Structure 1
Amino acid sequence: MTSYTGRALRLTVHVGENDTWHHRPLYSEIVHRAHAAGLAGASVFRGIEGFGASSRIHTSRLLSLSEDLPVAVVVVDAEERVRAFLPQVGEVVGEGLMTLEECEIVRYGSRAHRSEGTGPQGTGPEGIDPEDTGPEGEKSL
């Protein structure tokens, strides 16, 4: 059952698996900061092969298991919330590529649709479900 559809912004941060912030994996720091900021969600994807600014190829092939594999941290939420989060990411990412892409959210869930509201699928203003709120009651996807 589709409970929300609408426009959002996807932030993808490309870093190395061995990158750290204060002795903690950088990808983990980004995910925990996104969670603390009340963003809708974040996921980490480990690549099997890739290269970046150094032009050095990193791979997961059997003879190279200890290589620094590429990692992508993906965060999706409303555009204004993702843009407000960018300074926190910039603070911890020394070397890495960050991209922003507009996307469309389709979320499936078991909650019954609300019949009131002005957004799509019976949601509140701008397509945000009034029952979905962040830590301080801020609306979040």
Structure 2
Amino acid sequence: MDFLWIIFFGKKHWNQEKNGGVETFEDQIGILQQIPMEIQIKSLRTICKNISVYSKQLKLLSSAYKNKDIKSIYTLSKKQLGGLKKIMLYDRNEKMVRSINEKCRESSSFFAVGAAHLYGSKGILNVLKSEDFKVRPVFS
């Protein structure tokens, strides 16, 4: 199962094209397995002890999402990830760009990724543009 959120590239004819993802469920589990269990437990405890703080952060993210503000989504997410930015954001961006690059060579394509992966110097949009891809947002 692939977890996809923001539509940002190309056009897709669902009934005529093959489906796939830029990241698999196994990829995502592998990423989580790179994070030591002690850090995962500590993070969960911190969230549980500070529900109101994390609730406010979630509301800020939700508002940024509704306003299509990918810069704020990126900034808030990057801050929340702290020392896990490389594993959870930057490394995944690189892998997703490679996957997009490979799949686009086969046919015209449609991709969706988490909004936090779009923005920034290492963001998917910037990297794809630097590789001469034409990207555009598709909003509902």
Scaled by the length of structure 2, the TM-score of the pair is: 0.24
Higher helix share: 2
Higher strand share: 1
Q: Which has the larger radius of gyration?
A: 1
Q: Relative CO higher for 1 or 2, CA cutoff 8 Å, sep ≥ 6? A: 2
